[in-house]
Structure 1
């Protein structure tokens, strides 16, 4: 049997944690091999070892049957190994072409940078693989899905044969995910081999040939995907039976907590991203916002949380006008926010976990008095959140936020926001990048929050998540409210049509 990659008995340690404990993974030529595991199981670390970002303590790597030492990513590139990271590594104000050639710039007569030649080559590659990337667009002006294609293009430009995709669908819309699957199949036709890190079982079933499962740093086994069910993959991954259904009792809505009246907000392109939008959210209910990405959801959330100013309209919390209040005052009035981008908006990445857990409350007792911080109280508070939300990190509360896996960063943020016991919890993509076990837990906590008589506004691109968790669903398209439906009386099809802008005859 010919393997393009063999990782044999790999062990990788970090302070306080064995990330990979004697793991073996093989990749056949022309296959898609899925690497499945919970948040923090050691998937990204294992691929980091293959891509030369980390040196293993033990084990060896073979490429096309030959043993190699991959001391850094440049060596990996030379061996034909490319990687698309979970959080993209792109320069926002550079063009697509500039990003792709970074580090391997084409020279003209050995000196001048030959951007035109590169752009032409990128256009050829783009057409060949069906990527539809505009070589001259700036990164900051293109969608997340497009940015990901730029990352894939970077590897193709460097002639990689083995492509590693780390959580490639975590940030994509359903239609972009379908496109990505197509692209992956095209890559296989061209003789590439792919390793995809994921915890989305549906996608593994759709594209992968084999799947290796790791749990808490140890290998659980490698299976043929066609012979394995989603349920058994889930069980291998978390070590117990996982329920895919959300159990909740009928909601009993009470008084209005959030009242949005005729709000209009401009987006980053200085045109109205939200137009005359009105919505109420009451105690004891979860209201979901459904829509294709970029249809006004971000503007709505930023208007409520105070990150964006209104062009017109008003926002009330518990009957009080907060339209012009600063952010901290809004938090004090009972708003908590799980942001869409955990790294830019959710955490200070170079702070410890314990500092991150008190960002909104450090200026209050018991955490500080007369301007002096009480570190013991802060530590105890952080420890409680970390334990109750199973946030896994090498060094507990003193771990630096940046060192946690994406899913564990997410759990820490959700724990922090719920600990504030807010009257209104705004949860944006709360389970983005979480594994099935964690998703099940977070869903329970959101419903628990609702059942305590609080209001939850859920914004998610996962339509089944919106349908399962919400009591009412508000559908947005192009910044406008298309309609509000009761979750128990609708289905994916109807909501999907409304998301496309087909308005519904009756509204609730």
Structure 2
């Protein structure tokens, strides 16, 4: 590892007048060639803002950047690219309707006679780059047809193909399963060993400890310090991030024995001539959290679509509180019966063009009182939701200026605030730091103890064992129920079922 920093930030500060947020205050960071340097912190700690400044997407209010000891100023992302800095952002910037090759050449199109786009050369250069970095990507594949890990590979390939020697990855595993994340980190280690400098922005403590060479901790926009992984552990690192006096603990199991809230009877679903779900039979009772785990491509998304009423099954029936799900009026269903935390937070859960207040009020919008006094009541109710959830954001802030984690917390505040007898929670802690994860799990537990029936859909074995009362695994569209979470239902048994090793 080169002791001289390839990229250095000195006393970086940044605030946003629109939200009144001080995102960074006097932050220092150094990144060396041949290392994976992780930046960790809770949601809203300033991690993504730092990544955007280092990659030229934002300008700091004060402070300086140095590249191999020389001061540099980035006015735009292309300035950073010219200096070999590539960003893989938390929210993908790839054009889904274009191919891998077309995305790689955007803004750098090879041309014949200086006029005509040279597609053959573009595809050749993409194939060459894929082979040189051992990425098994087809240059002609549309981005929309790729799996989440393949999209991440395409984003990394684009950064590398443009001469990137410094890679900045902002929450790269947020859309990946645990096994996909392990594969990604294996790739990053190979790039590090080949001489790349990698800055990893993350809140996932376990991943950071296994992958990073050094760890820088941010808290509320300020630098806590930089440490080595060997000098800390999961609990200690989480405490440094949160400035808490003790490790977080989730409430105990709730346990349910009441009436069925969700009931799936012989449910099957076909998708493009392929059977996606096969003969599902299970029910979720009042007062319990029923957890279903699955890896990508095994039908979890289809199960979510059925449980929220977005799709109808081809065979069987889905009931909610003893009534066919599709018989519920949509406004009644969402206003007072079903709380829904979708996997696609930004696409299905939030309106990115609206404010925090408007998003918090959306669940009961069809029945809202839009008079002056009614709007004042909405504002007061929204403020209470944020206070109860411990979310510190302004009601009038645009939702899309918040970090991914804070968007998830706003969504959770809306859906888990007012009581609903049915809760559908699909990967409910995606993008959340350890403290916020525990808070969300405890709120789910609280709702179950109050009598709600909760269907938890997750790709995380840790989440399954942290919160579910009963456990099931979905593999290739078939559900295997393991029963009550206990000593006999182990993480190893679940993992074997998830991967098909127990088949």
Q: Same fold (TM over 0.5)?
A: yes
Contact 1:392–1:404 (8 Å) recurs in 2: no
Deviation of 1:64 after TM superposition, in Å, equals 1.0
Contact 1:275–1:480 (8 Å) recurs in 2: yes
Contact 1:427–1:456 (8 Å) recurs in 2: yes
Corresponding position of 1:418: 416
In the alignment, is residue 162 of structure 1 matched against residue 166 of structure 2?
yes
Corresponding position of 1:277: 280
Instruction: Give the counterpart of 2:308 among 293, 305, 308.
Output: 305
For 2:365, what is the secondary structure of its paired residue?
coil
Contact 2:65–2:71 (8 Å) recurs in 1: yes
Corresponding position of 1:381: 381
Deviation of 1:185 after TM superposition, in Å, equals 1.2
Structure 2 CA distance for partners of 1:271 and 1:330, relative to 1, 3 Å: farther
In the alignment, is residue 444 of structure 1 matched against residue 442 of structure 2?
yes
Deviation of 1:310 after TM superposition, in Å, equals 2.1
Contact 2:41–2:241 (8 Å) recurs in 1: yes
Deviation of 1:100 after TM superposition, in Å, equals 1.2
Corresponding position of 1:215: 219
Pairwise CA RMSD of aligned residues?
Answer: 1.7
In the aligned structure 1, how far is the partner of 2:249 from the partner of 2:475? 28
In the alignment, is residue 501 of structure 1 matched against residue 496 of structure 2?
no
In the aligned structure 1, how far is the partner of 2:502 from the partner of 2:155? 37
In the aligned structure 1, how far is the partner of 2:11 from the partner of 2:273? 54
Corresponding position of 1:41: 45
For 1:251, what is the secondary structure of its paired residue?
coil
Structure 2 CA distance for partners of 1:329 and 1:479, relative to 1, 3 Å: farther
Deviations 1:372-401 (A, max 9, x none): 8822111111111111112233xx111110
Instruction: Give the counterpart of 1:481 among 479, 484, 497.
Output: 479
Deviations 1:82-141 (A, max 9, x none): 000001111111111111111111112322222222222222222332222221111111
Structure 2 CA distance for partners of 1:453 and 1:83, relative to 1, 3 Å: same
Deviations 1:163-219 (A, max 9, x none): 000001111112211111111111112211000000111111111111111100110
In the aligned structure 2, how far is the partner of 1:315 from the partner of 1:90? 36
Structure 2 CA distance for partners of 1:222 and 1:503, relative to 1, 3 Å: closer
Deviations 1:453-485 (A, max 9, x none): 111111111111102211111211111213343
Corresponding position of 1:152: 156
Contact 1:163–1:192 (8 Å) recurs in 2: yes
Corresponding position of 1:346: 349
Matches within 5 A, 1:61-460: 61-243=65-247, 245-249=249-253, 251-267=255-271, 269=272, 271-325=274-328, 327-332=330-335, 334-365=337-368, 367-368=369-370, 374-393=374-393, 396-460=394-458
Range moving further from structure 2, 102-111 or 321-330: 321-330
Contact 1:317–1:333 (8 Å) recurs in 2: no
Deviation of 1:315 after TM superposition, in Å, equals 1.4
For 2:188, what is the secondary structure of its paired residue?
helix
Range moving further from structure 2, 336-345 or 127-136: 127-136
Contact 2:104–2:161 (8 Å) recurs in 1: yes
Deviation of 1:145 after TM superposition, in Å, equals 1.1
Structure 2 CA distance for partners of 1:294 and 1:325, relative to 1, 3 Å: farther
Corresponding position of 1:12: 14
Range moving further from structure 2, 199-208 or 322-331: 322-331
Contact 1:346–1:413 (8 Å) recurs in 2: yes
Structure 2 unpaired stretches of 5+: none
Contact 1:37–1:215 (8 Å) recurs in 2: yes
In the aligned structure 1, how far is the partner of 2:388 from the partner of 2:335? 24
Deviation of 1:332 after TM superposition, in Å, equals 4.8
Range moving further from structure 2, 243-252 or 280-289: 243-252
Deviations 1:422-455 (A, max 9, x none): 1111101111110011111111111111111111
For 1:168, what is the secondary structure of its paired residue?
coil
TM superposition score normalised by structure 2: 0.95
Instruction: Give the counterpart of 2:35 among 17, 31, 34.
Output: 31
In the aligned structure 2, how far is the partner of 1:333 from the partner of 1:444? 21
Structure 1 unpaired stretches of 5+: none
Deviation of 1:329 after TM superposition, in Å, equals 4.0
In the aligned structure 2, how far is the partner of 1:181 from the partner of 1:385? 37
Range moving further from structure 2, 315-324 or 169-178: 315-324
Corresponding position of 2:470: 472
Deviations 1:142-175 (A, max 9, x none): 1111111110001011011100000011111122
For 1:310, what is the secondary structure of its paired residue?
coil
Contact 2:363–2:414 (8 Å) recurs in 1: no
Range moving further from structure 2, 356-365 or 283-292: 356-365
